[in-house]
Homo-oligomer: A and B are copies of this chain.
């Protein structure tokens, strides 16, 4: 029999905020959370209206995250986990506040704005052992998980040219460019990467490529086979073993692994998408929290969710890329 739902709070995500709404759908989809508290907006009227729309009791709609952390921690029925969906540069302070009160955290990406803040959070998590999940949504796709497992199980042999594997990116040569005048951030990034073990990689991320929507694509090649996955057709993984015809592995179809099945809800031929991948992260976090409640080991499949260490690595990568770009795309080491 299923235990009661996990009590969830949210910081940010008031009316009109896109990513907050996505987090809520993701939390609802598998029915393992109950949204009971929020500091949804710094604007008091919007905060109040948003809470009412979401069926949050007025007494648990807070003016700020500090008050929310303090009062929820004091309630016997206080929240067990908080979702932080504030703007990118405002993740650190609320994350720290809830961690300090023994409340698990689901944090939208990127982890923080500054590397030192990321390290502070990592220390806090190392100290108190809480669940800390970073919602890199693509990691929830069944076929991305299967890709990762296939790389790990050596189905591809030694990796030579790669993008996203378990390998450690050791250094980066980056060219960041701002094409549209007035933008606060670079709008085009192109990088060369060197990985542990000698593999090589490239990364292109752009906001100036008309006709591309999100266009996330991952390709990994080893000495024995290759993998190709694109978010726009997320239910298919192209597997290209050397000397054999390429295979179309489909989520929940022939060739799909147990790891993919764990992250699927519906049979083959019924496409899943972005919200299901997002919900998968929430489902896995629920399993991790439930396991702690019940003092048991979590399902190993639930541990593929990106955590604090991944967030720190991401910050180190970005820091190195910015430094490289400022140094005329010189190779710049990424701290281990």
Contact = CB atoms under 8 A, between A and B. Distances in A.
Interface of A: 1-2, 4-5, 18, 21-22, 24-25, 28-31, 49, 52-55, 160-161, 173, 175, 177, 179, 188, 190-192, 194, 198, 200-202, 204, 206, 208-215, 219, 221-226, 228, 231-235, 238-250, 253-255, 265-276, 328-331
A177 B190 contact: no
B232 A271 contact: yes
Contacts of A273: 235, 270-273, 276
A240 B210 CA distance: 6
Nearest to A242: B210
A210 B214 contact: no
B250 A243 contact: no
Contact of A253 (B53, B213, B330): B213
Residue from A200, A208, A246 with most neighbouring chain B CB atoms (10 Å): A246
A247 B247 contact: yes
A225 B273 CA distance: 27
Given A161-B206, A274-B271, A211 B192 contact: no
A212 B192 contact: no
A275 B25 CA distance: 12
B31 A24 contact: yes
A255 B329 CA distance: 39
23 contacts: A29-B29, A160-B188, A161-B188, A161-B208, A173-B173, A175-B200, A190-B200, A209-B226, A210-B222, A210-B225, A211-B225, A213-B267, A213-B268, A214-B270, A232-B269, A232-B271, A233-B233, A239-B245, A245-B249, A247-B247, A265-B275, A271-B274, A272-B274
